[in-house]
Structure 1
Amino acid sequence: MIERLAWVTTRAARGRDEDEPLALAALERAGVRVEVVDWDDPDVPWSRFDRVVVRSTWDYPERLPAFLRWIDEVGAVSDLVNPPETVRWSLDKRYLAELESAGIPTTPTSFVPPGAPAAFPAGRFVVKPAVGAGSRDAAAYGPDQHEPARAHVERLHAAGTVVLVQPFLTSVATEGEWPLVFFDGVFSHAANKRVSLPVAGSVDGLFAEETNTRHVATEAQLAVARSVADLVAERLGVPTYARVDLVRDDAGGFRVLEVELNEPSLFLPQGGADAVDRLVAALTR
């Protein structure tokens, strides 16, 4: 039985997670003692919690070695959600290659390791790090902006980061993205998310500003998202929570943009009270 639960954030994210007040109130109604704690607080005795839930730890990309040590240390003394192996897999977007190899449609992606030259596609494209959150260090470029894009790649390489180069899908600007949320491997709800990537620039702060609305997932969207959930379950076990972000390609089909198993926003305000109840049930099993 889950009696004490740690809801893990970071200092800079306090008060900025829209899921948090909804989830905490529901957990407390369910009789769970919840404590909001910073992942890097050295004074937290993690073993006192029955479950430690990774939520708004949005500064981890800048402190990745420390964060990886933290998930291993906490996973050894408490029930970390999601587990360390699952979090590690989700942190590095090179998992897109694994999905593509399994026949799951993904956004076309070139992976550029440090020291390798970047080749840019025709038309508009996006440059972003393989490990990142909240669209930080991601930017869109036009066909005549290869020089600033190359400088962006070099800056990420200098930090030891593998770079992703993807064509900019026109639907992202007109329709946005569709996050589909799963609890314990079962689809819960969806949303529509619109993010404005800076052109030849970078996001300041923890994340890019978003406009989020309710969305009823289509059968085509569910088919792609469920194929990802099935692969994750087979590869890593069923995660307590997962989010699969989809975009529409130029042919009208849906492709995976990313899979969030670490600290995903769960779009509870868009999912409504039933989604909150499903999250609480998953966290207290």
Structure 2
Amino acid sequence: MTTYHQSTRGEPRVALVTCSDLADLDPDDRLVLTPLAAQGVAVQSVVWDDPDVDWSSYDLVVLRSPWDYALRRDEFVSWAATVPTLVNPADVVRWNTDKRYLAELSAAGVPTVPTSWIEPGESWQLPAQTGEYVLKPAVSAGSQDTGRYDLADPEHRDLAAAHVRRLSEAGRVTMVQPYLRAVDTEGETALLFLAGPEGLAFSHAIRKGPMLSGPDLGPDGLYKAEEITARTARPEQLAVAEQTLATVPGGTRQLLYARVDLIPGPDGEPVLVELELTEPSLFIGYADGAPDRLATAITTHLARTA
């Protein structure tokens, strides 16, 4: 546990929740510390599974980088349900940590990457047609256990089948998605929304370069390296993001942040690849004023819990 600003009587106390591998926070998250201190907020970084933490001693508990939860999702969701003043809240965590929510969003009319699901123990019939596909678990963080396979390549077909078996034997659901080649040129666009006095509002956008170069060959760290640059969101991207957020169970007023990840579909129009409401990188270092806006989001939720 790291204290960044010594609390005194009357100051609100905020926990920024992380994991043991990032006990001192992700560097991007540390950018919010100065603006919070300027607003008189006492901040500590706290590891989510530390048994000695008294979560009720904090006025607000903010999920930031608990990125080791994927293999212990049930434990993580149960923990979230015990934490008072958690944002985003436990019901959102339960819904959002299993990517099968994409099926709900698609059924609600949100344009999403076509996705099929392989339950543990199910046999998988590899697609007869050639093409590139992405395989990943329905519960994951940081692109762990994610691979890209060219099914025209016999070796890739064998590796894809092995990937599904590996996830199935671990009791994990596999997602199968076509690889949309526009990612190789345009990349992925992440639109960041932060809470403010008037509710959740668009803050900034970034571009992620292509990350998947081939099959998943086993563990390679807590998260894959990312190529990040600032990006200006286009109106059609903002429209899909707003459509996506309108489907969140319980509404957006409960949210401190949201990240909507989009990629170009086959016709060039944006489609949703992921809605991040649990522990997304917010990339506040890539937009002027974003650290201050995140601090405002936190103090806005502090005021609601007062």
TM-score band w.r.t. shorter chain? over 0.9
1:170 aligned onto 2:181: yes
Report the Cα offset of residue 271 of structure 1: 2.0
Task: Give runs of aligned pairs for residues 173-252 of structure 1, distance below 5 A.
Answer: 173-184=184-195, 185-202=200-217, 203-232=219-248, 238-252=254-268
Report the Cα offset of residue 201 of structure 1: 2.2
94 and 236 in structure 1: CA distance in 2 versus 1, 3 angstrom threshold:
farther
In structure 2, C-alpha distance between the alignment counterparts of 1:101 and 1:264, rounded to whole Å: 24
Q: Does structure 2 conserve the Cα–Cα contact (< 8 Å) formed by 1:90 and 1:262? A: yes
In structure 2, C-alpha distance between the alignment counterparts of 1:230 and 1:238, rounded to whole Å: 13
Instruction: Deviation per CA, 1:178-210: give whole Å up to 9, x if none.
Output: 000111221111000124225122451111110
1:269 match: 285
In structure 1, C-alpha distance between the alignment counterparts of 2:273 and 2:241, rounded to whole Å: 11
Report the Cα offset of residue 120 of structure 1: 3.9
In structure 2, C-alpha distance between the alignment counterparts of 1:23 and 1:269, rounded to whole Å: 9
Report the Cα offset of residue 231 of structure 1: 1.3
Output the TM-score relative to the length of structure 2: 0.88
2:7 match: none
Q: Does structure 1 conserve the Cα–Cα contact (< 8 Å) formed by 2:15 and 2:45? A: yes
Output the TM-score relative to the length of structure 1: 0.94
Report the Cα offset of residue 88 of structure 1: 1.1
Q: Does structure 2 conserve the Cα–Cα contact (< 8 Å) formed by 1:241 and 1:261? A: yes
1:38 aligned onto 2:47: yes
16 and 278 in structure 1: CA distance in 2 versus 1, 3 angstrom threshold:
closer
Larger Cα Rg: Structure 1 or Structure 2?
2
2:274 match: 258
Report the Cα offset of residue 238 of structure 1: 3.8
1:93 match: 99
1:155 match: 166
In structure 2, C-alpha distance between the alignment counterparts of 1:132 and 1:237, rounded to whole Å: 26
1:129 match: 137
Q: Does structure 2 conserve the Cα–Cα contact (< 8 Å) formed by 1:86 and 1:236? A: no
**Which secondary structure state, in structure 1, belongs to the residue aligned with residue 204 of structure 2?**
strand
The range that moved more, 133-142 or 178-187, is 178-187
- The aligned amino acid for 1:61 is A
Unaligned runs of 5+ residues in structure 1 are none
Instruction: Deviation per CA, 1:40-64: give whole Å up to 9, x if none.
Output: 1111111110000010000000222
1:102 aligned onto 2:108: yes
171 and 119 in structure 1: CA distance in 2 versus 1, 3 angstrom threshold:
farther
Instruction: Deviation per CA, 1:8-37: give whole Å up to 9, x if none.
Output: 111112456232221112111111000111
Report the Cα offset of residue 118 of structure 1: 2.3
**Which secondary structure state, in structure 2, belongs to the residue aligned with residue 85 of structure 1?**
helix
Instruction: Deviation per CA, 1:200-230: give whole Å up to 9, x if none.
Output: 2245111111010000100010000011111
